[in-house]
Amino acid sequence: MRRAHGEKLQLCDSLEKIADALPGVDPLMCLSTANAILPLLRNIHQYEETIIFPAYEEAVVGSDANLASTRRLRAEHVEDECFAGEVTEILLAIGHGEPVENPEAIGFMLRGFFESMRRHIAFEREHVLPMIGIADAH
């Protein structure tokens, strides 16, 4: 989990660098980031949904913790992957030389995406991982 969170946070950092550099962003950085987003998220989400979330649900049975948390986290995975598709399209276009017509809108889109991923990670670190005995040293 620490590795998965680290990889997602590195992706967030790359997206933030791109957002900060708009409109004069490095096309190769856009291409490499775009090509990493969906495979990375899909692999991590599959791991969380098949290993981590079932362990969490088992750990919270009979406690005050709310099982609705994993339903919400699974829904966030779907939303993140949909959003990731849109972000990937934009980054591929920029990487292939399309002009950045509205840097403010693209920056806002990128920030919305990576901030939501950072919140998701923070929730998992604060609530899910401690319940299943994983100490996450940030």
Question: What's the burial of 50, exposed, middle or buried (CB within 10 Å: 0-12/13-18/19+)?
Answer: exposed
Q: What mean pLDDT comes out for the span 79-96? A: 97
Tokens of 135: 């100490």
| Res. 131 pLDDT band, cuts 50 70 90 | confident
pTM of the predicted model, to two decimals? Answer: 0.90
* pLDDT given at position 133: 85
Name the more confident of 134 and 14: 14
Residue 63 has a pLDDT of 65
Q: What is the pLDDT of residues 38-63, one digit of tens each?
A: 999 999 999 999 999 999 999 888 66
